[in-house]
Structure 1
């Protein structure tokens, strides 16, 4: 009897233990990036809540066909590798879990449809949340990723947002925020393809010219890292949290002035050749059937582009205050945002060549010159008080006629 009683109690104890374990044995893990809550096992690295996501985007400095696109998780593990198509786009599905985020996407190799050569640097982009379906790769997204990596905390949401603001304010190159609010996630369509192609090519040409000017074994990828480290504090000034890089920053600012002047009038030189025609052809190649009027010549200049160009020219003038540069500044000051490139008189951007060479030799800090304070308009002269008219002369009194002489007696 006692054995039966003991066995029965033991049975209920076991059942109760299993019940309590089922209720409280798990834990809820919150994804700090996506905000998704899933149930996992305490202390386990086992993937949780796997989901299938779709990702697509455009690839380009100029549009790049045949690029190798590699998608990696937060730990650097490759999740997927594929090629961009002839339209410079990629599209894929892949299995991920919350621990994989943020995903980092890299694109290398292929053919740049503007230069007909392999790209000069690796492109990067980022996906912070499973709900994001688009991740474009271009110089802007590359700078955003690399800048965030230099910030304390690395690739977290706050840093990515801050890096985006720093990139678009310091290195705008004509990216119109009304058409492309976010270079990472904005879909590329007929309405904005000319903007992304032109601004990306302008940005890319600045990187190439900076690399070529530094001429000390620098690669375009290293130039990007230098600039990303510099603007991590919000300013392209050669000062970083780890020291100074004045030469790279100065050369980048001055070459920015040069490519911006060319892009403003749609005369961007790439490899010594005016790239407007090739950029327009690449737009047609990547978006067949596009309206012919959608081309780089009809891209409107932005206020941010003008501000960047003016600040860059001010930097050049602080080194060389000659009329050949001040005349450019005067021409810039007469432009207004919203003007089409075809309506802008070309600038003599070659005037900056000597300044860039000098800056590269001296490593002068890239602090932009303070814009001159507009002169106070002269106070109009007080009108002269009209002279008091002269009092007319009093008419002379007629002489009294002489009295006739008395005749002699």
Structure 2
């Protein structure tokens, strides 16, 4: 990334905004119904002061300058599951695979070729800039290599950097792994969470300990769960192709040694980690009705990453069931190593098609999907009221789209159908970014 691009992403380069009235033919607050010829009053503190009709706010604040936008204005989008540091592995996400094992083989061949720890930070900054240009202003970013750890904080964007553990077994954890992980936690600035990668990749005792570490420090938790049906075989009985793959990787997990846990991955993760509203999971592809009910009972949201699932070649999530059962949902792109772009609105058309294909007929589908990509993600990250909706007191994180509904078309339908690639400006705390 160029020095100029890095400066554009650095919060220190963003001057405090003057109070401004941002108006557009359509404003979609998410928390309230869409507004025809609406406006958002942004204070000089970078927070939203008021939301309403343009005429009313213009009359109430005649002294405030107005920025008139064309199209549709909505809250900055929330990417609830991504790996920004993999943004230079985009060649992997540009092709399709025959299944999880094939994608793993391609990823494992490419990962060691990345030269130097600094490359992960550079890639994360590139991914952040691509995301900002697509209207994404908040992130649930999984960080495997610490060079990418402070990218969110340095850029002044909202979100959580989830420090990931992967391949840790109980013996190695006790012999120094735990101390090294705690040093990572203590050395981080802010925007921090903890991510035990998945039930099949972190030892049982380590997952449990990570839960205790997170809760003792008030940190959020995030894990991959049920990304493919292969995971079910491994967790239930310690068998199957994924179990063989894990053994080939040299990971010594108690779950395999004792022949599985005898329960589903969702139940296993709950027994081990204690799922709750301070935790959300990614993918949720292979979850049956009992698993979904468990997550709802715990208040644990699922981050849907459909384009990644399609690229890797695994089955799609039970989206119609999630919607009908009122499960808490959010949306993620996953990384450029398994998806074609970091444009979160690009996830919504295939999600819509999947919901209809699976039989969901509700008229609220477009509004529900747009909620998942904004307020749903904010709630999953513990940031409800701060981002994800245009409400007084929230950050003035805005996305402006070159999208206008056609005659008789709901604005939410227009955004879902044509929002991908249509972002013309992104504001973070009232300042256009990148500049």
Q: TM-score range by the shorter chain?
A: under 0.3
The structure with the largest strand share of the pair is 2
Give TM-score scaled by structure 2 length: 0.19
Decide which structure has the larger Cα Rg and report it. 1
Higher-RCO chain (CA-CA 8 Å, sequence separation at least 6)? 2
